[in-house]
Amino acid sequence: MAALLFIPAGTLGYWQAWVFLAVFVGASAAITVYLATKDPKLLERRMNVGPSAEKEKTQKLPMFFAMTGFIALVAFPSLDHRFAWSSVPPYVALLGDVLVALGFLFIHFVLKVNTFGASTIQIAEGQTVISRGPYAFVRHPMYAGALPLLIGIPLALGSWWGLLVLFLFLPALIWRLLDEEKFLAKNLSGYVEYQAKVRDRLIPFIW
């Protein structure tokens, strides 16, 4: 993460990157410590990530694009900082850090109610449909929680143009989400009934 931030920026004097790095690493570490003490099996499932970790062949390509997009979402704002393509006020950058923190907080709540929330598409032994907590409102609250986090990253790093990168790789996330639904409907007992009950995938009353 530090390399993605400071090498494209060409400097260590990038205060937005330092604040973002502190928020991102701090929030990630807090969730990791929580899972290590409360749900180590879920932590193990969360750490098995990436295209090569996907067991479903149909997920390897969208996961590759999603991970490539995330790398670009971090690195491109650093290039923006280096060449001063856009100017983001300090208070907007700090607001971006708040969005990143809120995204992590929401994801934490999701993981608390869903011990099966792996980073790859799979069905774990004994897995059941989760319909309580945020799953009562949208079918993919993990993705919903990631949205403010992803929007916050380029803002926190002081780049308006970085938002364009987000919109370019959002289709990969939606592709992954839709394919995941097909897999769950086919392989997880009760998921089709859950789809009928909770109509919205990502944003309540919208989609």
Residue with tokens 């907080």: 105
What pTM value is reported for the model?
0.88
Q: What is the tens place of the pLDDT at every residue in 57-109? A: 777 787 888 888 899 999 999 999 999 999 999 999 999 999 999 999 999 99
Q: What is the tens place of the pLDDT at every residue in 27-52? A: 999 999 999 999 888 888 777 666 66
Per the CB < 8 A criterion, the answer to whether 169 and 151 are in contact is: no
The CATH topology of domain 13-50+57-197 is Four Helix Bundle (Hemerythrin (Met), subunit A) (1.20.120)
Amino acid at 27: A
How does the average pLDDT of the chain come out, rounded? Answer: 89
Cα-based distances in Å from 109 to 13, 24, 116, 128: 35, 17, 13, 18
Sign of the CA dihedral running 105, 207, 181, 63: negative
Q: What is the pLDDT of residue 85?
A: 94
Mean pLDDT across 16-23: 97
